[in-house]
Amino acid sequence: MELSEACGEGLLVRKIVEGTVVDHIPPGKAIAVLKVLRLWPPKPDGYRVAVVFNAESRKMGRKDIVKVEGHHISREEAAALALVAPSSTVNIIRGGVVAEKWKVKPPEVAEGLLRCPNPTCITRKEREPVKPRMRLVSKEPLKYRCVYCGSTIGQDEIEGYILV
Ligand SMILES: [Zn+2]
Protein backbone atom coordinates (compact mmCIF):
# COMPACT_ATOMS: atom_id res chain seq x y z
CA MET A 1 0.00 0.00 0.00
CA GLU A 2 1.21 3.47 -0.84
CA LEU A 3 1.71 5.90 1.99
CA SER A 4 -0.59 8.44 0.33
CA GLU A 5 -3.46 5.99 0.77
CA ALA A 6 -2.60 5.42 4.39
CA CYS A 7 -2.76 9.03 5.45
CA GLY A 8 -5.38 10.59 3.24
CA GLU A 9 -5.42 12.55 0.04
CA GLY A 10 -4.24 16.09 -0.48
CA LEU A 11 -1.56 16.19 2.17
CA LEU A 12 0.78 19.10 1.83
CA VAL A 13 3.76 17.22 3.18
CA ARG A 14 5.99 14.92 1.22
CA LYS A 15 6.07 11.18 1.67
CA ILE A 16 8.39 9.71 4.21
CA VAL A 17 10.61 6.77 3.34
CA GLU A 18 11.39 5.57 6.88
CA GLY A 19 9.26 6.47 9.84
CA THR A 20 5.85 6.26 11.46
CA VAL A 21 2.45 7.66 10.58
CA VAL A 22 -0.06 7.81 13.41
CA ASP A 23 -3.46 8.05 11.76
CA HIS A 24 -7.07 8.34 13.01
CA ILE A 25 -6.11 10.46 16.01
CA PRO A 26 -9.21 12.06 17.53
CA PRO A 27 -9.32 15.71 16.37
CA GLY A 28 -7.49 17.97 18.80
CA LYS A 29 -5.33 15.17 20.25
CA ALA A 30 -2.27 15.48 17.99
CA ILE A 31 -0.32 17.52 20.54
CA ALA A 32 -1.11 14.98 23.28
CA VAL A 33 0.18 12.29 20.93
CA LEU A 34 3.39 14.26 20.36
CA LYS A 35 3.81 14.61 24.12
CA VAL A 36 3.56 10.88 24.87
CA LEU A 37 5.96 10.19 22.00
CA ARG A 38 8.31 12.76 23.60
CA LEU A 39 8.27 14.89 20.46
CA TRP A 40 6.75 17.94 22.15
CA PRO A 41 8.10 20.55 22.56
CA PRO A 42 10.11 20.13 19.34
CA LYS A 43 13.89 20.14 19.62
CA PRO A 44 16.19 21.55 16.93
CA ASP A 45 18.08 18.24 16.74
CA GLY A 46 14.96 16.08 16.98
CA TYR A 47 13.07 14.07 14.39
CA ARG A 48 11.34 15.80 11.51
CA VAL A 49 7.63 15.74 12.32
CA ALA A 50 4.56 16.72 10.31
CA VAL A 51 1.22 17.27 12.00
CA VAL A 52 -2.13 17.58 10.25
CA PHE A 53 -5.03 18.91 12.28
CA ASN A 54 -8.62 18.32 11.24
CA ALA A 55 -8.00 16.14 8.20
CA GLU A 56 -11.06 14.74 6.47
CA SER A 57 -12.01 11.28 7.67
CA ARG A 58 -14.80 9.15 6.27
CA LYS A 59 -14.87 7.15 9.48
CA MET A 60 -14.53 9.95 12.04
CA GLY A 61 -15.53 13.16 10.25
CA ARG A 62 -12.34 14.88 11.31
CA LYS A 63 -9.06 13.44 12.51
CA ASP A 64 -5.49 14.46 13.28
CA ILE A 65 -2.43 12.80 11.75
CA VAL A 66 1.17 12.74 13.01
CA LYS A 67 4.08 11.72 10.76
CA VAL A 68 7.50 11.12 12.25
CA GLU A 69 10.44 10.76 9.92
CA GLY A 70 13.29 8.42 10.80
CA HIS A 71 11.69 6.79 13.85
CA HIS A 72 9.69 3.56 14.11
CA ILE A 73 7.67 3.78 17.30
CA SER A 74 8.00 0.98 19.80
CA ARG A 75 5.24 -1.12 21.39
CA GLU A 76 5.80 0.79 24.64
CA GLU A 77 5.27 4.10 22.89
CA ALA A 78 2.19 2.65 21.19
CA ALA A 79 0.79 1.64 24.61
CA ALA A 80 1.16 5.21 25.87
CA LEU A 81 -0.38 6.43 22.63
CA ALA A 82 -3.44 4.26 23.25
CA LEU A 83 -4.04 6.12 26.51
CA VAL A 84 -4.44 9.54 24.86
CA ALA A 85 -5.72 8.52 21.41
CA PRO A 86 -7.43 5.12 21.70
CA SER A 87 -8.82 5.24 18.14
CA SER A 88 -5.48 5.73 16.43
CA THR A 89 -3.74 3.43 13.99
CA VAL A 90 0.01 3.12 13.61
CA ASN A 91 1.65 2.72 10.21
CA ILE A 92 5.30 1.75 10.20
CA ILE A 93 6.89 2.96 6.97
CA ARG A 94 9.92 1.15 5.56
CA GLY A 95 11.33 1.89 2.13
CA GLY A 96 8.42 4.25 1.36
CA VAL A 97 5.67 1.70 1.89
CA VAL A 98 3.54 0.64 4.86
CA ALA A 99 5.38 -2.35 6.27
CA GLU A 100 3.21 -2.77 9.38
CA LYS A 101 -0.13 -1.36 10.39
CA TRP A 102 -1.97 -1.88 13.65
CA LYS A 103 -4.66 -0.33 15.82
CA VAL A 104 -3.41 0.81 19.20
CA LYS A 105 -4.81 -1.03 22.20
CA PRO A 106 -4.97 0.31 25.75
CA PRO A 107 -2.86 -2.03 27.89
CA GLU A 108 -4.74 -4.30 30.35
CA VAL A 109 -2.18 -3.32 32.96
CA ALA A 110 -0.45 0.03 32.54
CA GLU A 111 2.82 -0.48 34.34
CA GLY A 112 4.93 2.60 34.94
CA LEU A 113 2.77 4.52 32.47
CA LEU A 114 0.33 6.35 34.73
CA ARG A 115 0.88 8.12 38.04
CA CYS A 116 -1.67 7.25 40.72
CA PRO A 117 -3.85 10.28 41.54
CA ASN A 118 -3.81 9.45 45.26
CA PRO A 119 -0.94 11.39 46.92
CA THR A 120 -0.73 8.88 49.80
CA CYS A 121 -0.53 5.83 47.52
CA ILE A 122 2.48 3.54 48.04
CA THR A 123 3.48 4.22 44.43
CA ARG A 124 4.02 7.86 45.33
CA LYS A 125 6.20 7.42 48.41
CA GLU A 126 9.40 9.36 48.08
CA ARG A 127 11.52 6.60 49.56
CA GLU A 128 11.50 3.31 47.73
CA PRO A 129 8.41 4.04 45.69
CA VAL A 130 6.63 1.06 44.15
CA LYS A 131 6.26 1.13 40.37
CA PRO A 132 2.71 2.28 39.58
CA ARG A 133 0.41 -0.39 38.18
CA MET A 134 -3.02 0.56 36.94
CA ARG A 135 -5.52 -2.00 35.69
CA LEU A 136 -7.89 -1.29 32.80
CA VAL A 137 -11.48 -1.38 34.10
CA SER A 138 -13.29 0.19 31.13
CA LYS A 139 -12.35 0.66 27.49
CA GLU A 140 -15.02 3.13 26.45
CA PRO A 141 -14.63 5.52 28.02
CA LEU A 142 -11.15 4.60 29.21
CA LYS A 143 -10.80 4.04 32.95
CA TYR A 144 -7.88 2.70 34.96
CA ARG A 145 -7.76 1.64 38.61
CA CYS A 146 -4.68 1.58 40.82
CA VAL A 147 -3.80 -1.98 41.80
CA TYR A 148 -2.56 -0.78 45.24
CA CYS A 149 -5.07 1.78 46.50
CA GLY A 150 -8.07 1.49 44.17
CA SER A 151 -7.98 5.11 42.98
CA THR A 152 -9.30 5.54 39.47
CA ILE A 153 -8.40 7.71 36.49
CA GLY A 154 -11.02 8.45 33.84
CA GLN A 155 -10.57 9.22 30.15
CA ASP A 156 -10.67 13.00 30.59
CA GLU A 157 -7.97 13.00 33.27
CA ILE A 158 -5.56 10.49 31.75
CA GLU A 159 -3.37 13.02 29.93
CA GLY A 160 -2.47 14.69 33.22
CA TYR A 161 -1.23 11.43 34.78
CA ILE A 162 0.88 10.02 31.99
CA LEU A 163 4.44 9.40 33.14
CA VAL A 164 6.26 8.94 29.85
ZN1 LIG B 1 -2.66 4.19 44.04
What pLDDT does 1 receive?
47
Parse the chain into domains and list their residue ranges: 3-103, 109-161
Which option is the CATH number for 109-161: 3.40.1080.10, 3.30.1330.10, 3.30.499.10, 2.30.30.20?
2.30.30.20
79: CB partners within 8 A, 6+ apart: 104, 105, 106, 107, 110, 113
CB 92 within 8 A of CB 41: no
Ligand 1 centre distance from Cα of residue 105 (Å): 23
Average pLDDT over residues 21-48: 93
Ligand 1 centre distance from Cα of residue 18 (Å): 40
CB 13 within 8 A of CB 86: no
Ligand 1 centre distance from Cα of residue 163 (Å): 14
What pLDDT does 157 receive?
93
Ligand 1 centre distance from Cα of residue 71 (Å): 34
The pLDDT tens digits for 92-137 are 999 999 999 999 999 999 999 999 999 999 999 988 879 999 999 9
Identical fold for domains 3-103 and 109-161, yes or no, is no
Average pLDDT over residues 11-18: 74
Greater pLDDT, 55 or 1: 55
In the structure, ligand 1 is a single-atom ion and the residues with CB under 5 Å from it are 116, 118, 121, 146, 148-149, 151
3-103: which CATH architecture? Answer: 2-Layer Sandwich (3.30)
> For the chain, how far is it from start to end, CA to CA, in angstroms?
32
What pLDDT does 60 receive?
87
pTM of the model: 0.82
Ligand 1 centre distance from Cα of residue 5 (Å): 43
What pLDDT does 12 receive?
52
Confidence of residue 73 (pLDDT cuts 50, 70, 90): very high
**Which whole-number Å values give the CA distances from 161 to 42, 82, 124, in the listed order?**
21, 14, 12
